[in-house]
């Protein structure tokens, strides 16, 4: 698999030092692109490798990772198809860039967090951990996957009008029932990110960077 054959417009930022073995899969929100979250990634884990794709769906000219029918109403068929497409891209990018498939940590905001959550539910082998900023429940699967080797941080706003606290709790219940180690950070704000969210993500990520491989994981 060569770089030119990868199916998403994307950025690949090689890492440096010890953190380079961890790859942050940066997944932007509605209207973002492959460059939007690179500075956030550098802040969360300096030196980490980054893989940042651009969503292929356009909503009024704004890139997204999947279609929605209305605010908070997802096109589940499209979501699931796009989830498989993204997971295949991650697999192929690992081959093209010689990335460690056992050190892939999704960092998603809003729409990006939602497709990361969907990936954990549909194609969990594509990710080993995830930071989900302001996620919603993408869908409820008929059968939950085994997420017992996954670590997930959910960063939620107590006054978020889009991803409300009930959505956050429902998503956490799904992940916990599937066996994931789930941690939540509550922010006294809305849908926007705050400094407290970033600090919480930094602290959480520092505990797993370099130890995401389940064979070496200290649970």
**191 counts as catalytic:** yes
CA 111/CA 117 separation, integer angstroms: 10
Q: SS3 for 69?
A: strand
Query: Residues 88, 92, 191, 213: which is the catalytic one?
Result: 191
Rg (CA), the chain: 16
Q: Which two tokens stand for residue 121?
A: 């539910």
Q: Which residues pair with 151 in a beta bridge?
A: 129, 181
Which of 36, 160, 187, 197 is flagged as catalytic?
160
Q: 44: helix, coil or strand?
A: helix
Exactly one of 28, 36, 52, 110 is catalytic; which is it? Answer: 110
Task: For residue 197, count CB atoms less than 10 angstroms from its CB and return exposed for 0-12, middle for 13-18, buried for 19 or more.
Answer: buried
Residue 170 annotated among the catalytic residues of the structure: no
> Does 110 qualify as catalytic in the annotation?
yes
Active site residue ranges: 110, 160, 191
């Amino acid at each position: 698999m060569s770089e030119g054959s990868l199916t998403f417009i994307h950025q690949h930022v090689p890492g440096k030092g010890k953190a380079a073995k961890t790859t942050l899969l940066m997944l932007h929100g509605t209207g973002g692109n492959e460059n939007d979250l690179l500075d956030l990634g550098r802040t969360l884990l300096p030196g980490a490798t980054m893989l940042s794709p651009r969503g292929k769906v356009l909503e009024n000219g704004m890139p997204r990772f999947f279609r929605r029918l209305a605010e908070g109403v997802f096109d589940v068929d499209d979501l699931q198809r796009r989830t498989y497409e993204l997971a295949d891209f991650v697999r192929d990018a690992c081959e093209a860039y010689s990335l460690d498939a056992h050190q892939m940590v999704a960092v998603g905001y809003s729409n990006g967090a939602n497709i990361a959550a969907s990936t954990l539910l549909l194609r969990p082998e594509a990710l080993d951990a995830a930071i989900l900023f302001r996620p919603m429940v993408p869908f409820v699967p008929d059968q939950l996957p085994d997420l017992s080797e996954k670590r997930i941080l959910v960063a939620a706003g107590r006054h978020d009008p889009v991803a409300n606290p009930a959505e956050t709790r429902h998503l956490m219940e799904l992940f916990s029932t599937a066996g994931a180690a789930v941690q939540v950070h509550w922010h006294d704000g809305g849908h926007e990110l705050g400094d407290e969210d970033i600090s919480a993500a930094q602290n959480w990520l520092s505990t797993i960077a370099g130890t995401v491989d389940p064979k070496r994981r200290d649970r």
